[in-house]
Amino acid sequence: MEHLNQLTDDMLVALYSKGNDKAFDELLSRYQGKIFNYILFIVRNQELAEDIFQETFVKAIVTMQQGRYTADGKFGAWITRIAHNLVIDSFRQERSENTISNDESEVDLLNDADLCDDNVEMQMVNDQTLIDVRRLVDALPDNQREVVYMRYYQDLSFKEIAEIVGVSINTALGRMRYALLNMRKIAEEKHIVLEMY
């Protein structure tokens, strides 16, 4: 097949299940950056992220080859869910008590930065603001940081986030609400003023 890049994810999965390795290569090229960045954002360790990334795609390969893929039109959410579960498993292995708290968290507000290229000074202010926002997001508890990342960096809906993380939509919304409150609180405590031009 010459035009694999024009096929849907499900068509590629079907082809791969029948032995077409190039179909998997196309799926990998579509999702490798997004999945790796998601894992790295959560675990904050390059080597661990690489291991989990490889394990994610190995699990996907095994599932597809066994004909057990059933995500009908939601390959991206399915593969992200596999990655999410492996990240959780990794945290559990690392810590015998894997407690992630929504309380006592630091962070600031700002979600989507539409940058203007008006002048160098504005660009520098915007760049610094994005760095400040990233630090504030990094200060969030893992489950809040994950929801913020999926919503604003991956542009997923709360329904998709809930499915991937395995919680209700209300829980996903609640985590986002607490994340924003925590980000505001930290910004106020540290006297951070975020300006975007």
Q: How far apart are CA 137 and CA 111, in angstroms?
A: 10
pLDDT of residue 97: 42
pLDDT of residue 11: 92
Torsion angle in degrees (nearest 10) through CA of 150, 155, 157, 163: -40
pLDDT of residue 103: 47
The string of pLDDT tens digits covering residues 10-69 is 999 999 888 898 999 999 999 999 999 999 988 889 999 999 999 999 899 888 888 888
pLDDT band at 157 (very low <50, low <70, confident <90, very high): confident
pLDDT exceeds 60 at position 126 = no
Q: What percent of the chain has pLDDT over 70?
A: 78
Q: Closest Cα partner for 104 from 176, 182, 28, 31?
A: 182
Range in 10-14, 123-127, 165-169, 187-191 the model is least confident about: 123-127
The string of pLDDT tens digits covering residues 54-100 is 999 989 988 888 888 887 788 998 999 999 989 988 888 776 444 44
Report helix angle 46-65 to 21-43, nearest 10.
140
pLDDT of residue 30: 94
Q: How far apart are CA 197 and CA 112, in angstroms?
A: 12
pLDDT of residue 25: 92
Give this prediction's pTM.
0.58
pLDDT band at 125 (very low <50, low <70, confident <90, very high): low
- Region 116-129: what's the mean pLDDT? 55
Can you list the domains of the chain with their CATH numbers?
4-94 (1.10.1740.10), 120-189 (1.10.10.10)
Backbone angles phi, psi at 171, to 5 degrees: -65, -45
Mean pLDDT of all residues belonging to the chain: 79
